[in-house]
Amino acid sequence: MSQASDLTGDARTMYRRFMREAGKSAVHVCPAHDRTRTLLESSDLIVDALLGTGLSAPVTGPYRTTIEAINDAGRPVIAVDLPSGIHADTGAVLGTAVRAFLTITFGLPKLGLYVGAGIDHAGEVHVADIGIPPRYVDAVDSRITLLTLDSVRRLLPKRIPSAHKGTYGHVGLIAGSVGKTGAAALAAKAALRVGAGLVTVATPASVNDTLEAKLLEAMTVPMPETNARTLARSGLDRLLSFMNARSAVAVGPGLSTHPETVELIQALVARLEKPSVLDADALNALAGCTSLLAECKIQPILTPHPGEMARLEEQATPQSINADRIGTATRFAQRCGVVLLLKGARTVVAHPDGRASICPTGNPGMATAGTGDVLTGMIVGFLAQRLSAWDAACAGAYFHGLAGDLAAAELGPAGMTAGDVIDRIPYALAQAVRH
């Protein structure tokens, strides 16, 4: 895209090497626009190496028209380091940007590949090792990391020969209401699939039989209910005893926003003394009263999607949340003293000390009802096996996404269900053992 005489430094060195090995006929210097389109459309594969990580201004001139021609060519595109036109830090499109199906980035992951528009433009991302010594990588001053199979493998509980079901903990779920027993069932099944030894669900009495019919391996406990068949405030003492008898608890899936149930949830949160996950209607109950989190004896995990996050953050919208996912998650985690898992494309896990991790697994096929309940079950299942809140959230996010990726590879992303993700959790965990 420029004259050979204008090249300097590494670009000139690499150009000369390429000319020696490929020959002049392989290089087209400053081709006319029509010629560029013809070359692209006659190619089987396009490698985008137009612009580097230093781009900070909108793409204009011949670079813009070339990027547009690449996108119009209808050929598979592999981007080098990051798609041309994407800001390396924010993922923003600077004028226009290449849409790749695969991005091979060098040395370390670039934040812009995992946030904003960079997610859609990068496609699948592969981080290529180019031999940077570990001491230099460790010296990088960043509080944001990328979850990898290697980093989460070490978090998984060991399965010992002398184990029994009590070895791997007893999960307590406070979940379900009329019309929403599916959420409770999905969370229970997911907790068992990550290896929890026992799972018991506390649910409104009138829906207990319905839930029992959906669960073979988990137990249920009927609890006092409102006239609307949701959990009642009168069941507080029984639910507190239920929680204290479990290794870890999750509160929220399918509970409803009935006013009395909201009051009950708030009372439960203020008395939490066990490792816990707060999701769905537990998060809705905290809207406007997140100060209750300071009363938790043990650091809880919150797992909002952007809509729920916007209800927890005053004057926020789902759009403003998604515009600054990492910043939103880390600020909330620090302010409230919780582990915050912000769901969505490239889930963010934030620690109250300011750390954050980005999860690279997952796919659009998981944008379906119930997958959040599956994630809740997986995380509380790990908590019951004595993982810390941070480790359980990171492991849960990664293997939840990986199970979804396995389902999408087999079934395709359209028509996937939350149950498909549950079925593939053991296979996702097995990948950590094999590698």
pLDDT, tens digit, 9 for 90 and up, residues 357-382: 999 999 999 999 999 999 999 999 99
404: CB partners within 8 A, 6+ apart: 361, 362, 363, 365, 366, 371, 416, 421, 424
pLDDT reading at 310 higher than 80: yes
Average of pLDDT values for 12-26?
85
| Homologous superfamily of the 31-142 domain (CATH) | YjeF N-terminal domain (3.40.50.10260)
Whether 175 and 187 have beta carbons less than 8 Å apart is answered as yes
What distance in Å separates the CA atoms of residue 127 and residue 142, rounded to the nearest whole number? Answer: 17
CATH 3.40.190.10 fits 152-434, yes or no: no
What distance in Å separates the CA atoms of residue 404 and residue 396, rounded to the nearest whole number? Answer: 12
Phi, psi of 213 (to 5 degrees): -65, -25
- Residues of the chain with pLDDT > 70, as a percent, come to 100
**Which tens digit of pLDDT belongs to each residue from 121-151?**
999 999 999 999 988 888 887 899 999 999 9
- Residue that has been written with the tokens 């009950």 in this structure: 264
106: CB partners within 8 A, 6+ apart: 81, 127, 128, 130
Chain mean pLDDT for the chain: 96
Query: Please, where in the chain does CATH 3.40.50.10260 lie?
Result: 31-142
Comparing 343 with 36, which gets the higher pLDDT?
A: 343
Average of pLDDT values for 279-306?
97
pLDDT reading at 435 higher than 70: no
pLDDT reading at 338 higher than 70: yes
Position 237 scores a pLDDT of 98
**Which tens digit of pLDDT belongs to each residue from 39-77?**
999 999 999 999 989 999 999 999 999 999 999 999 999
Average of pLDDT values for 194-216?
98
Closest CA to 279 of 297, 246, 254: 254
Position 220 scores a pLDDT of 99
Residue 25 — very low, low, confident or very high, per pLDDT cuts 50/70/90? confident
Residue 280 — very low, low, confident or very high, per pLDDT cuts 50/70/90? very high
**Which tens digit of pLDDT belongs to each residue from 255-274?**
999 999 999 999 999 999 99
**Lowest mean pLDDT across 22-36, 114-128, 272-286:** 22-36
Whether 233 and 264 have beta carbons less than 8 Å apart is answered as yes
- Prediction pTM value: 0.94
Hey, what are 282's tokens? 């537990």
Query: Please, where in the chain does CATH 3.40.1190.20 lie?
Result: 152-434
State the amino acid at position 299 in one-letter form: Q
Query: What sign has the CA pseudo-torsion 182, 416, 149, 348?
Result: negative
